[in-house]
Amino acid sequence: MRITKRTNIAVRLLMYCAAHLDRLVTKAEIAEACNISENHLAQVINQLSQLDYLSTQRGRKGGMSLARPADEIRIGAVFRDVEGSLPIVECFADAYNTCPLTDACRLRVALQDAAEVFYASLDDITLDALVCNNDPLLRILQPVACGR
């Protein structure tokens, strides 16, 4: 299974926010620390804000923070919410399916079952579990000093 770039960015963004619960974080610092373009990041920030994972504050002293506690954010839910109804294979996209085997294909059922197991395994993982007591990650996610 392949995860979209948007979902990858979303998880890195949430991890950064969870590592800095004491303050608002900025798009620029996340982009630099997580090696993400600010344009891609802006789109994901908007989506996560609409999904109530992030609280954003505009203005000169603006930034973002988690909208709910990190131990209440399930990674499986984040993946489902960000990925949306994106089909994992062509035959799951009825409108764009050109596969002539769909009606008799047993692989389609197996892939659907595998996707459900994949997401269910991520439901057991919270954002807090990814960040809490993970000193190597916290060192990586430290804000970069100006002029560095």
Q: Which residue would you say has higher pLDDT here, 20 or 105?
A: 20
pLDDT in tens, 9-55: 999 999 999 999 999 999 999 999 888 999 999 999 999 999 999 99
71: Cα separation from own chain's centroid: 15
Per-residue pLDDT reduced to its tens digit, 109-118: 788 888 888 8
SS3 content of the chain, % helix, strand, coil (to 5): 55, 5, 35
Please classify residue 18 by burial: count the beta carbons closer than 10 Å to its beta carbon, then call 0-12 exposed, 13-18 middle and 19+ buried: buried
- 95, with CB counted inside 10 A (0-12, 13-18, 19+), is exposed
Q: Please give the Cα distance from 147 to 100 (Å, whole number).
A: 58
Between these two residues, 144 and 7, which has the higher pLDDT value? 7
Q: Where are the domains of the chain?
A: 5-140
Q: Write down the pLDDT at residue 148.
A: 39
Percent of the chain with pLDDT over 90: 53
| Fold annotation for 5-140 | Arc Repressor Mutant, subunit A (1.10.10)
